[in-house]
Structures are given as C-alpha cells and as structure tokens.
Structure 1
Amino acid sequence: MSAARRLALILPVLALAACGPKTESLGKVGGAPPSLILATRLLTPDGNSLGEAELLQMAGGVQLIATVKGLPAGQYGMHLHAVGRCVGPDFASAGPHFNPMTRQHGRDNPMGAHMGDLPNLEVSDKGVGEVNIMLTGLRLVDGDAPLLDADGAAVVLHAKPDDYRTDPAGNAGSRIACGEVKRQ
C-alpha cells in the first residue's frame, strides 16, 4: 500500500480520535503514530492478489486496514489466524484463529470471541471491499498475548460471511485468500 493511501486511511481515524467521543469500532486510537506497521498481500490459492492488508500497532490496539478487489458483491468472513503460513490450495497451514484466551468463536457467542475474530468484509457491486477497524487490546509484538510469535500470523479471507457465533469459524466456508504477517 502506498504511503499516500496509508495516510488517507489513517487520517480519518486520527481525526475522529481528536474530536471527542469515539465510536466503539474505532476503540481508543489516540494521536500517537503507529509503533509498527506490517503489510501483506492477500493471495488466492493460485497466487493471484485479491488485495492487501496492513496492521498498525497503535497505543490502544492494532488498526487493521484491508482492501480487496475483484470479488462478487457480498459479505466475506475475515479472521486473523495463528500461523503465518499460507500454503494453498486450502490455506490450512494458517492454522486456527488467533485465540490465546481459548474462547469460542464469535462476538455473538456468550463464550466468545477469539482475538482473531473480525467483522465481515463487505464487497460492493463494483467488486471492492474495504475494512478499517481498531482491534482494541490486541498487540502485534508486546503485551500479554501478542499476535506475532516465531511463526507469525495470517490474515485469511473466507468464501462466506461469518455468522459471529458458530465455533470454531463462524460457518464462514473455505479459505479463499491468505496473507502472511511476519516481522521483518
């Protein structure tokens, strides 16, 4: 992602942080710049790029910014997986969702949610989908349960929407794209 595009996506979040009350989805962003930025391309099993994702470690959590292009309109489940390995055709190599607290899946599950659970990605009629969310409390490299360990992590896009409650993966279907997230 270009620096200009990254700035265009970050500035609205920082502006909201400076303007008083914050929405729940943005969490506590604060005005400090990210302490770490990691990017990945979301690749299909045959190696074609569907888009990219960036994870920015901020004071209050991790901001996830992702853009995909070329998918049919609809909702797609998206999760952070525990292993930074994306081997097709099924991307099972990415392991399960990032879940250091050993909870069940889904924000609507009374025994959930995994720290790797994300909102569905909405793709428009033009074939473009974007997400920009603050994952409050998540850390990339420090804290009690950082996302990145020796084998990294992965951003995985699924074929169907996440139902936000069914354990272990929200009935989100097959894994259609995967991006490895590793510290350089």
Structure 2
Amino acid sequence: MKKIWFIVLLIVLTACQPNDDTSRTVSMYNVSGDMIGTAKLTEGDDAVDFELKLEGLDPGYHGIHVHEYPKCDQPDFTSAGSHFNPEGNEHGPMHPEGSHLGDLPNIEADQNGLVDAELTLPEATLLDGKNSLLKGEGTSLVIHQEKDDGVSQPGGESGPRIACGLIADDEKESSETPTDPTDFNEDQED
C-alpha cells in the first residue's frame, strides 16, 4: 500500500512541475556585458506575456522588440537582426496593415532607471508554429535607447540597441546572419 501512495505522490509532484515549453526567463545584458535584469516570458491565451524587471536604463521611454536571431554580440547587438516578422508586415502597432509580430509597446524606466513592467505580445507563442519565438534556434529581446514612435520604417526611430537577451532553448548564440530590414521593405513594394 505504501508503494501505491508513493507512486501517486510522485505523479502529483511531477504534474506540478513547471512546463519548460510554456515559460522562459531571459537574462538581459547591456552593451558592456553587465546583466541588467530579466524578462520572464509565459505562454498566454494566443499571446506571450512578458514580465520585465530591469535596472540601469536612462529614465524615460524605450523601444523594445523581439528580433529574429538569438544573437547578442556587443557592443551594438546588430547581430540580433531585424524585428521578428514572420508575416512580412511593416513596422509599428499604428501601421494600418499590421505590425511586425515582434513589436512590443514601449517600456518606461523610472527616475532611478528601473523598469517593472508587464507586456503582452499578441499572436506569438513559445510552442510550435510559425509565430513561435523559439522557432529554429530562437529569437532575442532587444531594448533601444529611445522611444519607438510606432510607425516609422523600419524600426520606429528608437535609436541604438542598448540591451539584449536570448530567447532560446539554450543560451548559445545563433550562427545565422542578420537580415537588412530595408531589403524586405523594397521587396514588398514590387
């Protein structure tokens, strides 16, 4: 009888373990390679929810986007490529034809440079599918120096990339070469 209770207890405990496919914690690093906080990603209802805890940013608004490759080469993080955009849309949540999937709302750092924010990325997933942030080798989360204006092409006039973290099954960087976002826009005009 003790064996049966032990097996039942083991099954219950195993079922209570977090599912790695539905959540992920991303370590965020600045251009100097210092860890400045984390972004916890959780699978939601037809969306991925982000919980950001960051420090060391300039006070004010900053653009934040999911980028196409899990690469965060310092000092400028351009290795992360363009915004994650599996649908081939234009940039910006205010664009009439839809935005890049990786376009998140701006975050605001308080007067002490701290960010404690919750964001939602609609239509994204951590599970399988074309909108998966973990598709292929994964993606990255990039914070910019300035506020994203929500409409300018290709990246919202949000300025230099100042922080980056890998959204991947492991913390190894991608071997992919980033694309030029303006190349895609020219192809779309044809």
Query: TM-score if structure 1 supplies the norm length?
Result: 0.77
Give deviations 1:89-120, integer Å, cap 9, x for gaps: 11111011000000000011223301000011
**Structure 2 residue 122 is the aligned partner of structure 1 residue 136:** yes
Q: 1:46 matched to which residue of 2?
A: 32
Structure 1's unaligned 5+ residue stretches are 1-32
For 2:133, which of 143, 147, 160 is the aligned residue?
Answer: 147
Q: 2:80 matched to which residue of 1?
A: 94
**Structure 2 residue 91 is the aligned partner of structure 1 residue 105:** yes
Structure 2's unaligned 5+ residue stretches are 1-17, 171-190
- What CA distance in whole angstroms lies between the structure 2 residues aligned with 1:61 and 1:155? 16
Shift of 1:58: 2.4
- What CA distance in whole angstroms lies between the structure 2 residues aligned with 1:136 and 1:77? 17
Indicate the RMSD between aligned Cα atoms, in angstroms.
1.6
| Contact 2:23–2:126, Cα closer than 8 Å, also in 1 | no
- What CA distance in whole angstroms lies between the structure 2 residues aligned with 1:71 and 1:92? 19
Q: 1:170 matched to which residue of 2?
A: 156
- What CA distance in whole angstroms lies between the structure 1 residues aligned with 2:71 and 2:65? 14
**SS of residue in 1 equivalent to 2:65:** strand
Deviates more, 1:78-87 or 1:130-139: 130-139
Shift of 1:121: 0.8
- What CA distance in whole angstroms lies between the structure 1 residues aligned with 2:169 and 2:139? 10
Give the number of equivalent residue pairs: 152
- What CA distance in whole angstroms lies between the structure 1 residues aligned with 2:136 and 2:109? 33
Query: TM-score if structure 2 supplies the norm length?
Result: 0.75
- What CA distance in whole angstroms lies between the structure 1 residues aligned with 2:24 and 2:148? 25
| Contact 1:105–1:111, Cα closer than 8 Å, also in 2 | no
- What CA distance in whole angstroms lies between the structure 1 residues aligned with 2:164 and 2:53? 13
- What CA distance in whole angstroms lies between the structure 2 residues aligned with 1:149 and 1:57? 14
Percent of aligned pairs with the same amino acid: 36
| Contact 1:101–1:114, Cα closer than 8 Å, also in 2 | yes
- What CA distance in whole angstroms lies between the structure 2 residues aligned with 1:154 and 1:36? 17
Segments ≥4 residues shifted beyond 6 Å: none
Amino acid at match of 1:171: E
**Structure 2 residue 132 is the aligned partner of structure 1 residue 156:** no
Shift of 1:152: 1.0
Q: 2:178 matched to which residue of 1?
A: none
| Contact 2:139–2:167, Cα closer than 8 Å, also in 1 | yes
- What CA distance in whole angstroms lies between the structure 2 residues aligned with 1:148 and 1:82? 10
- What CA distance in whole angstroms lies between the structure 2 residues aligned with 1:42 and 1:108? 27
Deviates more, 1:130-139 or 1:97-106: 130-139
Q: 1:24 matched to which residue of 2?
A: none
Give deviations 1:132-151, integer Å, cap 9, x for gaps: 12223211222342121222
Q: 2:112 matched to which residue of 1?
A: 126
Structure number, greater radius of gyration: 2
